[in-house]
Amino acid sequence: MAGAPQSGTSAVSRAVEPIISLQDIRKSYQQGEFTTHVLQGVTLDIMPGEYVCIMGPSGCGKSTLLNILGGLDQPTSGVYMLGGQDIAQLNDDELSQARCTKLGFIFQSYNLIQQLSVLENIEVPLYYKGMKDSEMRPIAERLAAKVGLSHRMHHKPTELSGGQQQRVAIARALANEPLVILADEATGNLDSKSGNEILDAFDHLNREGKTLVFVTHDERMVERCSRIIRLKDGFVDSDTRTKRALMAA
């Protein structure tokens, strides 16, 4: 039929606008008389449905770039567009709102609140969104079930394994249906079995259409993600599509 998309065309190739667009992002830190240039002109777009891994040696700027993507730090210069918004033009309240509604965060150390149950941890971003208890609980229960923790909903983080805690973190990151999920060494504290289970969970999320951007040293992700961006000395050293992306195209 004329005008219909061809079979096999990926969601990424059909996308009109990137979810994330970085133009000449630079970040420097002043320490007395010395200036440290951490990012030195990073330009890239991330499209809906991509599964992107940012990799590189220690000190290459990965964590700084992730902090900028998460709105936790501001670039020294350059433009960062998130979902069509120029992040630099937002005031503190608007930036907090953008982080709450457009971004989901997954951390290496899980960052769960130890006094809260699984359900209550998942509800945290919904609480800050202003939802009522009666609205939050069904969402939290559904997400706990989604990550395989229906039987652990009322347990505290100290009663969970590392892999289970990271599943709670994944559910929490999904609570506000963000445009992008950002993760920092999400498998770094897990054993091989738990790490593979979490990677399987990420694969499933990406197949559902979630956009994932991870900073990682975990080479297992090379076979899982659709795109690998390698940083070196604050520059994009390479930006390549993986076999997975080429097969989906």
The architecture (CATH level 2) of 48-74+89-248 comes to 3-Layer(aba) Sandwich (3.40)
200 closest CA partner among 216, 221, 214: 221
pLDDT in tens, 2-15: 444 443 444 444 44
Cα–Cα distance measured from residue 239 to residue 44, given in angstroms and rounded to the nearest whole number: 9
pLDDT at 78: 97
pLDDT for the residue numbered 130: 87
Report the predicted TM-score, pTM, of the whole model to 2 decimal places: 0.87
Task: Give the chain's end-to-end CA distance (angstroms, integer).
Answer: 20
- Mean per-residue pLDDT for 85-102? 92
Q: Dump pLDDT digits (tens) for 187-245.
A: 988 999 999 999 999 999 999 999 999 999 888 888 889 999 999 999 999 999 886 66
Residue 234: which of 32, 65, 22, 35 has the closest Cα? 65
Interstrand relation of 227-232 and 235-241 (parallel, antiparallel or unpaired): antiparallel
Phi and psi dihedrals of 184, rounded to 5? -115, 105
Give residue 15's pLDDT.
Answer: 45
Contact present, 60 and 233 (Cβ < 8 Å): yes
